[in-house]
A and B are shown apart, each in its own frame.
Chain A
Amino acid sequence: MSQRHNGGADNPRHLGRREWLSALGIGGIATLSGCVGGEDEEDEAGGDEDRDTYDTAAAASFETLNPIYNTENGAGNAIARALDQGYTFNEDNEVVPLLYDLSTEDGAVWTFEVRDNLEFSDPYGQVTAEDFVYLIQEVHQSDWANSAATINWGGVDVEQTGELEFQATLESPNLLWPETFDPLLYPIPRDLIEPYVEDEDVEGMQQDEELLELTFSGNLGPYVMDEWNRGSGTQYSRNDDYYLQEADDLPDEFDDAPYFEGGSITYLEEQSSRLGALETGEVDSAAIPPERYEEYDNRDDVYVNQVPTPYNTILSVNMRDNGWNTGPGNLFRYKEFRQAVNASISKQELIDGVYRGLAQPHYTWQPRFTDFYPGDDDLPQFGMGDEYGREFARDLAQEAIDQSEYDYEFDGDELVDPDGNQVELDIYHSAGQETSQLTAEFISEEMGENLGIDVNVEAIDGTRFGEEFWTADPAEDGLTDEVNGEEVSWDTDVSPGPNNPGPRSATSNEDWDMSIVYGLNTYPRNPLTNQVFFDGANAQYNPVGYYPEFDAESLFADMRQATDRDELISILEELFINLAEEQPYIMLLFSDDLIGYREGLEGPIENFSNGWDLPVWTYE
């Protein structure tokens, strides 16, 4: 879990959350338990007999519960108990309409149909299309409110077409628009936010008591939030009028949902406290660390689910000018050398040792469980089986060296630079994260043994790494560099930003060689989103200075034009085969979420969508 929490998205403490909101998806209640980062779900129910409340624990406190401004994963779960969002995804990755149903003909014009039995608390009345349209146009699309969803609604033309219906027109068609989570909305009463909108009062809206305490939630969530104690957590009681009880299009179990009388989320920072609480029955579910999986799985009172995730563990190698600080000629720039690095690290041993076998090898930019995964046969599998080992890695490295103008060579065991000194590189990992440290030290040993490179392990605070190493001050617009024989300019689509400051000559403040501080999301529901990483050398997110050697840009252009899913899949497969070959980041593994539940709890599934139907969870 720590990996997720701290390496999940691109910045451990701060960015992960928004990532989650905008892309990974809090399908309403969907992520309650499965997709939670650094967050443990535990139902306490106060011991074995008393199982009529659903209680969980959070590893960190909530910054805000204001639905307009929340960008945090954990707080999103706390809100989700009391307030549904537009739709979610079930275990088959199909859209499940909650507040509204989305439909489209061509991917460009999307129609939202709002349910007719949605009620805010008094005095705000029924939820209508007007509330949503007002929220989008006056808050999300305004230039003053700076709401969490602002980024999702740029360039979308919204129009109310009926009492309970509105339309959104996209700039360019996107068949997977719901999968981007962009059209996901919270219901917010127009009358509540109108005064702030008129005064353009951001602070007022952020600090509004009703928004923070969710007192307007009416029948819009399975529970009603009773209290938010800033120091200890949230308390809920059952919402007897939950609107999904009347829904015909959902499974029958929803007719009586929710099945618990109440619930709570408690902050428990210490992992040992969370596990201790699980053991004593004070809470009935918690994230389990890999080394204790077997132990808990063998217990009678707990069962453990292994849930695959789309967050990867990668070794980022710096291809910019401030990388490869051991000598001239950055070898990371040759894909053969990146392959060699990958082939020098035993994925199997890493998975067995650090993750106790509870992780999946990572070959290309997509987990195995998606439709878009090309299949193992088509992919090189560096670091596994025959494609792992000293000889294999050294042959690949030699290929890279042959292309380099500098005289690197293998001298006995050591890889030496043109001056005859052993190549020495640094690897950074998150301070205070044991998994991260173990992985870094393992990589250091493997690269030393198989590639003859002396790797120094350095711990660093995630915030500092983000500020000084990973991101940089953007260079001026319009710098160009030759990529793959073509000239690429850094102002065509987006201006240079902190995450892609420009060509390889644009660098962050501090030099660095390799890092495992951040993992990234591989966007399994909507892999098109991966264009932020790989859409050419000037893609929006490219801190490592990766220049694709295949025509990534035209692949992404084709995908945006694709008119049906099969076409999309075949282009994506081509993309992923190329990425597996190129290793823009050295792909290591996907760690699994291990979640322990009290025996008898029905509902959890071993699937990425775990928790989408939380209101119908119950004890036998």
Chain B
Amino acid sequence: MATKKPERFDQVDWSELSESGRLDLSINSIGMVITSLPVVLLGLYDWRFIGDRTDTFEFIGLSRNLESLDYFFIFTLLLFFFYLILPLAQNPRMTKYYWKEFKRNRPAVVSLGWLLIVFAGGLLGPLVISAPEQDILIGHQPPVFLSVDAANVANCVGDIVGGQCQGTWEYPLGTTRGGKSVFTSIIYGMTISMQIAFITTTIVAAIGISFGTVSAYAGGWVDEVLMRFVDIILSFPTLLMFLLILYIYGAGLGMFILVFSLFAWGGTARYVRSKSLSVSEEEYIKASRISGASTYRVVRKHVVPNTASSIITQLTLLIPGFLLAEAQLAFLGLGDSNIPSWGQLISAGRSDLAFAPWIVLAPGIVLFLTILAFNFLGDALLDALNPEAEAESE
């Protein structure tokens, strides 16, 4: 949100404005650098000094191994914290105002709650619940309170009543064909979904915003070249590209995120460009240019912050697309079957749908709710940031 905007004229930090050096690091950036340094070091350590097969935290006895994706995920979480959460805390007044606006939209509040659950589940779940384990002899257990024809189950964990296998609390949402707990898999799927959401958003935002603002601000032939490049990106057959990479090099979740986010920023760039175009027509931009601010400074300090709110909204609405894309690829059998994503669970259960619908329904509904929540959230942000339409309607 437009947190960089000074709240009142008399609070404008003139000393900050008069500095034109590029190393004007805010507390946020300093925090960002300080915290990401250990992550980078740990990554280097992992990469250089311990073998592929050794767990990252073996030296302190933890058997959790970090993949490059995890490092990137941590990095994006830090970004998210220092440039979104912290600024909100730094500006309690604005935060309060936004919250008041936001609270009026009850579905959005519920959505935020759900997303926080998914987020917390994704971060903490894997730490408290051990990974879903296969046990082929207990496949197709029904969820608790439900039952299934005993003929479809290899070995029933619960009681068999009248030829029907009963569900147990041990597997609250039942098990897959391989005997993995659906509940645990969904928790682990939250991590994957959050990784997809955060990492793709970061990549798309980074590229899209750079292209959009530079294009809008530079204008002329630069604008022309960049926007024509965006044309190509927008028309690029991403699925084809991904499939070919899959055949030639093999592709996991990391590759999926990379390929799809590298070809998804076209829309964002266009959007940012048009927003920036209108912002840069504003008087205060002209004023700061006249007062001698460098182009970089104007873009960085005025154009980006003032388009930030609409960009965030746009990105929020982009995330469900990625979650869907992952699920769709998994459905087509092209996903990364080593990861416990919701899409993988849906695709694994779809041939058993007729007699074991929980394998598809549980992750399907969670996926549905998550996408729904992102939409409500984006919609609420849109409304909150567009007070005109609202004020008039009352």
Contact = CB atoms under 8 A, between A and B. Distances in A.
Q: Do chains A and B touch in the complex (CB under 8 A)?
A: yes
Interface of A: 270-272, 275-276, 289, 291-292, 294-295, 298, 349-350, 352-354, 356, 424, 431-432, 434, 437-438, 441-442, 445, 454, 456-461, 463-464
B134 interface: yes
Contacts of B337: 431-432, 437, 459
B140 interface: yes
30 contacts: A270-B351, A276-B354, A289-B351, A291-B139, A291-B140, A291-B352, A292-B152, A292-B355, A295-B149, A295-B152, A298-B151, A353-B139, A353-B154, A354-B136, A356-B154, A424-B53, A431-B333, A432-B334, A434-B178, A434-B351, A438-B134, A438-B136, A454-B53, A457-B338, A459-B338, A461-B246, A461-B247, A464-B248, A464-B249, A464-B250
A286 B230 CA distance: 49
A434 B335 CA distance: 13
Interface string B38-77: 0000000000000001000000000000000000000000
B339 to A, nearest CB: 9
Contact of B134 (A276, A350, A442, A458): A442
B350 A459 contact: no
Interface in B208-260: 246-250
B88 interface: no
A442 B333 contact: no
Where chain B touches its partner, the secondary structure class is loop
Interface of B: 53, 134, 136-137, 139-140, 149, 151-152, 154, 177-179, 246-250, 333-338, 347-348, 350-355
Contact of A349 (B137, B151, B246, B354): B137
A437 B178 contact: yes
Contacts of A442: 134, 136
B376 to A, nearest CB: 32
Nearest to A440: B134
A502 to B, nearest CB: 25
Given A353-B139, A464-B250, A438 B152 contact: no
Q: Enumerate the 10 nearest inter-chain pairs by beta-carbon distance, A residue then B residue, closest first.
A: A353-B136, A432-B333, A294-B151, A459-B337, A441-B134, A271-B351, A438-B178, A353-B137, A424-B53, A295-B151
Contacts of B351: 270-272, 289, 434
A275 B351 CA distance: 9
Contacts of B352: 291
Nearest to B246: A461
A197 B341 CA distance: 55
B152 A458 contact: no
B354 A464 contact: no
A272 B139 CA distance: 19
Contacts of A437: 178, 337
Nearest to A275: B354
Nearest to A271: B351
Question: Considering residues B140, B178, B249, B337, which has the most beta carbons from chain A within 10 angstroms of its beta carbon?
Answer: B337
Contacts of A295: 149, 151-152, 355
Nearest to B176: A434
Contacts of B355: 292, 295
Contacts of A349: 136-137
A434 B348 contact: yes
Nearest to A426: B53
A426 to B, nearest CB: 10
Nearest to A458: B338
Contacts of B353: 272
B51 to A, nearest CB: 8
